[in-house]
Amino acid sequence: FAGYISQVLKNYTDHACDGEYVSLRCPHRTTISIQSSFYGRIVPSHQLCPSRYPHSYATLIKEDVACSVGTSLQKMLDECQDRRSCQFLVNSRLFGTDPCPATGKYLLVWYKCRPNEYKSKVACEDDKLRLSCKKSMVIAIYSAVFGRTQGGSLECPYQNIGMPMIECQSATALQLMIKRCHGKRSCSIYASTYEFGDPCYPGIQKHLNVIYTCDNTPLLLPVDETQPPAPSSSSSMEPVGVGTEMALLSNILAAYAFIT
């Protein structure tokens, strides 16, 4: 179960040079959720995706390092969004008009693995939030936000007359919800500043929004059952995790983007 959860919460990064395959995949019962994408070149070829052909110095200095294609994100959404896995050959023809035909380009993509079936619960400030699953199933927290989001909440309308709509979020909400509820059949917590601290200015009403799933596969293996081979200079990067603090920050941001 811990292995499965680590795969779901992890942020993934993958890349492929022109002429290479990009391959994205997620664990069982989750699908790809594209966060961001870039196709073009913003660094010299000796730093990333070197040319397959020898170049003279005169040719290299003409390389365009301010080249990007605006259709990259939409293409990744079309090819991979909401799928368990996807793979395709990277080349400029996929993205429409080529703004720098003489320059070798590369694709960078950032994504998460979203549960196929998930539930969302909201509790207004000082109310109790209760999560529960059926017998033999346990809670898997996907995201948690405590504070006030720009879009607000239908369940907890903004009532601070005369105060501006300010976005503020607790940096510990996801970590606390994981500690309190992960792997349990049921749990409860108050949506209060006592539990989460106060990330907002005094007087701003807050709410707790939790997205979770109920899973009955505690022994589910992560994506790779064996240790992946070390990536070569010409292969796509394997999905990698980040440090605990950066992962927490990244997941908070991703949770807000997902909820919005």
* 159 residue type, one letter: Q
- Taking CA atoms, 7 is separated from 15, 16, 140, 229, in Å, by 19, 21, 12, 18
Residue 96 Ramachandran class (φ > 0 left, ψ -120 to 50 alpha, else beta): left
Structural domains in the chain, CATH included, are: 1-115 (2.60.120.740), 119-215 (2.60.120.740)
Of 110, 143, 116, give the one whose Cα is nearest residue 240. Answer: 110
3-class state of residue 199 by DSSP: coil
pTM of the model: 0.53
* 99 residue type, one letter: P
- Cβ neighbour number for residue 75 with a 10 Å cutoff: 19
C-alpha 64/C-alpha 41 separation (Å) is: 7
Of 80, 107, 83, give the one whose Cα is nearest residue 93. Answer: 107
C-alpha 162/C-alpha 51 separation (Å) is: 59
- Tokens for 13? 């990064």
Q: What is the pLDDT along the chain (260 residues), one digit of tens a residue?
A: 455 555 555 678 899 999 999 999 988 778 898 888 999 998 888 888 887 655 554 455 577 888 899 889 999 999 999 898 999 999 988 888 888 888 889 999 999 888 777 788 999 999 999 999 988 888 888 888 899 876 666 778 766 555 666 788 888 898 899 899 988 899 999 999 999 999 988 778 889 999 888 877 543 333 333 333 333 333 333 333 334 444 444 454 455 455 55
C-alpha 50/C-alpha 142 separation (Å) is: 38
Report the DSSP pairing between strands 12-17 and 30-41: unpaired
Contacts of 97 (CB under 8 A, 6+ apart): 69
